[in-house]
Chains A and B, each alone.
Chain A
Amino acid sequence: MSDKRAQHKSKLTLDRGIPGAFEGETVTRRRFMTGTAHTAGAVAAASFLLPALGFAVGPIFKKNVVRWETVGTIDDFPDNNYIPTVLTVTPGIGEAGKTTVYVRKYNPTLDASSSDNALPYIAISDRCVHLGCPVRWVDAAERFICPCHGGVYEMLGKPIAGPPVRPLDRFYTRVNGEKVEVGARFSVNSLLRRFSPRDPGEPLDGIGQYLYPSRPDARK
């Protein structure tokens, strides 16, 4: 009995008395066939699952082309008040692809604290950094006010009331001849330091920038 069990335990099929065994063979044909069938199944499943997964996840890594869009001429924008302009962020889908950008000229007195961000024009996104509703510039109050959950921002876009977690996003600007052009979006922290664009609701102070990584394609 113990002899038989020892034979059974041997790795070699020859020792185990399996018919048609080769010398030095350790894998039985039954096991080999089972393994082959499983592998074939796995390959067949992976051949449609992996492309489907890549297809679904791919847009995360899609390279976005930076488009510069003209929003007006250099005389259109004062340096102490915002002018709303419309920017197309997603072409081809009509109204749904447009967003409002509030533009004013760079003002040395106002923007001195963020001089490292010095751009010829200050372009502030209307996307509330709480959850993405459109904020409105209220001239009389000199505030950006969000209609959804009560976010309020001051002149520079820094939050002063409500749930927003960082100042309003901005856009790169440049002057091309007489025209003012608006480019890619960037986010700022509470000191108005520039960061790769983040979605609303993602703080950038402290460890926020590490807890909420930016899109791979948007990094500098």
Chain B
Amino acid sequence: MPKLPNIPAPPLPGPLQEPPPRPGEHNGAGGPLEDAKQAGITTVAWLDERTSLSGAARWMMFRKVPKGTNWFYTLGSATMFAFLNQAVTGVFLAMYYRPEAGGGAYESVRYLTNDVFLGQFVRGMHKWGASVMVVLVFVHMGRTFFFGAYKYPRELNWVIGVVLLILTMAMSFTGYLLPFDERAYWATTVGVNINGTGPLIGPYLSDFLRGGAEIGATTLSRFYAIHMLLIPGLLIALIGAHLYLVAKLGTTAPPWKQSQKRRELHEAEV
């Protein structure tokens, strides 16, 4: 006789269910799987007793979302994962990169691209991921705009988002110089000179960016420090604030749901 598939147990009302064992009451019966489970529960309980982090985690993750929430609402998370990709691949690229204008920078990038195992792949992830992140930032911004999600009380989150956009563009600009090939050199020349066309402060701004009158060793190390220390720190802090406000204020329903509700309300008044 062929074996029948396991049929799930019928759902029992709460009072009839056997209560799960309390932490610490576990008597060793149940095998290694149960042991591992208990170890996990004990660790988490130990941490939570000392930090009360489970409340914060629950507050952050188990939120009510409005009706009509759809795939467009995942664009922010997608942007954040693009950023995480940049952060992780960037850390590993920094293990090989040398910000040396006399040829070391170009040579280190050439070496990591051609000779290091998976180097080309990791560099490709970072390079193409940069474009993906910029595209996702704009799509996420467009979603927020067209859904009217920037309106009261979420204006501050829009402002933080715009700062994040500017920082992302600054990341793109500073990262472009780092391979120090012909394209990097001339693109940065043009970019810095565009900064210089601003009246009164423009000349000082481009001097600050170059670290002098000409593009040189100072420019490269300066761009490297801005690219891997200054802006990432700001980005992480502001992404934290952005996420805090999302959790605090909740998300908006899509506009079609809102108008539906408004129409219903209006009919009820009449």
Q: Does A56 contact B (CB under 8 A)?
A: yes
| CB < 8 Å A-B pair total | 83
Find out whether the CB atom of A132 lies under 8 angstroms from the CB atom of B190: yes
Find out whether the CB atom of B216 lies under 8 angstroms from the CB atom of A96: yes
Closest CB in chain B relative to A141 CB, distance in Å: 23
Residues of A within 8 A of B173 (CB): none
Stretch from A29-37, A72-80, A108-116, A193-201 at the B interface: A193-201
Find out whether the CB atom of A131 lies under 8 angstroms from the CB atom of B203: no
Find out whether the CB atom of B217 lies under 8 angstroms from the CB atom of A92: yes
Closest CB in chain B relative to A56 CB, distance in Å: 7
Find out whether the CB atom of B218 lies under 8 angstroms from the CB atom of A200: no
Q: Does B196 contact A (CB under 8 A)?
A: yes
14 contacts between A and B (CB under 8 A): A60-B207, A96-B101, A96-B102, A96-B180, A96-B215, A131-B189, A131-B190, A133-B190, A200-B193, A201-B194, A202-B196, A211-B200, A214-B203, A215-B203
Q: Does A19 contact B (CB under 8 A)?
A: no
Q: B185, B186, B213, B217: which contacts A218 (Cβ < 8 A)?
A: B213
Residues of A within 8 A of B103 (CB): 94-95
CA distance A17 to B197 in the complex (A): 63
Find out whether the CB atom of A59 lies under 8 angstroms from the CB atom of B212: yes
Q: Does A90 contact B (CB under 8 A)?
A: yes
Closest CB in chain A relative to B234 CB, distance in Å: 15
Find out whether the CB atom of A202 lies under 8 angstroms from the CB atom of B102: no
Q: B199, B216, B217, B218: which contacts A211 (Cβ < 8 A)?
A: B199
Nearest to B207 among chain A residues (CB) is A60
Q: Does B147 contact A (CB under 8 A)?
A: no
Point out residues on A near B: beta carbons under 8 Å.
56-57, 59-60, 62, 64, 89-90, 92-97, 131-134, 148, 197-202, 211-215, 218
Majority-rule SS of A interface residues: loop
Q: Does B76 contact A (CB under 8 A)?
A: no
Residues of A within 8 A of B202 (CB): 199, 202, 212
Interface 1/0 per residue, B195-227 and A, CB below 8 Å: 011011011101110111111111000000000
Closest CB in chain A relative to B110 CB, distance in Å: 15
Find out whether the CB atom of B196 lies under 8 angstroms from the CB atom of A199: yes
CA distance A199 to B190 in the complex (A): 11
Given A94-B103, A131-B193: A59 in contact with B215 (beta carbons within 8 A): no
Closest CB in chain A relative to B112 CB, distance in Å: 20
Find out whether the CB atom of A59 lies under 8 angstroms from the CB atom of B218: yes
- Name 5 extra pairs, CB < 8 A, besides A94-B103, A202-B203: A89-B214, A93-B102, A96-B216, A201-B194, A213-B204
Closest CB in chain B relative to A49 CB, distance in Å: 14
Find out whether the CB atom of B194 lies under 8 angstroms from the CB atom of A59: no
Majority-rule SS of B interface residues: helix
CA distance A215 to B210 in the complex (A): 13
Q: B194, B208, B218: which contacts A131 (Cβ < 8 A)?
A: B194
Residues of A within 8 A of B196 (CB): 199-202, 212
Q: B185, B193, B199, B200: which contacts A96 (Cβ < 8 A)?
A: B185
CA distance A219 to B108 in the complex (A): 39
Nearest to A96 among chain B residues (CB) is B101
Closest CB in chain B relative to A60 CB, distance in Å: 5
Residues of A within 8 A of B207 (CB): 59-60, 215
7 interchain residue pairs of minimum CB distance: A201-B197, A90-B216, A93-B101, A211-B199, A199-B196, A132-B189, A131-B190
Residues of A within 8 A of B206 (CB): 199
Residues of A within 8 A of B203 (CB): 198-199, 202, 212-215
Q: Which of A93, A199, A200, A213 has the most chain B CB atoms inside 10 A of its CB?
A: A93
CA distance A201 to B215 in the complex (A): 16
Nearest to A200 among chain B residues (CB) is B193
Find out whether the CB atom of B214 lies under 8 angstroms from the CB atom of A97: yes
Residues of A within 8 A of B216 (CB): 90, 93, 96-97
Residues of B within 8 A of A60 (CB): 204, 207-208
CA distance A196 to B265 in the complex (A): 70
Find out whether the CB atom of A92 lies under 8 angstroms from the CB atom of B194: no
Q: A62, A131, A201: which contacts B212 (Cβ < 8 A)?
A: A62
Find out whether the CB atom of A133 lies under 8 angstroms from the CB atom of B197: no
Interface 1/0 per residue, B63-103 and A, CB below 8 Å: 00000000000000000000000000000000000000111
Closest CB in chain A relative to B144 CB, distance in Å: 33
CA distance A148 to B183 in the complex (A): 12
Find out whether the CB atom of B194 lies under 8 angstroms from the CB atom of A93: no
Residues of B within 8 A of A90 (CB): 214-217
Given A97-B216, A200-B193: A92 in contact with B186 (beta carbons within 8 A): no
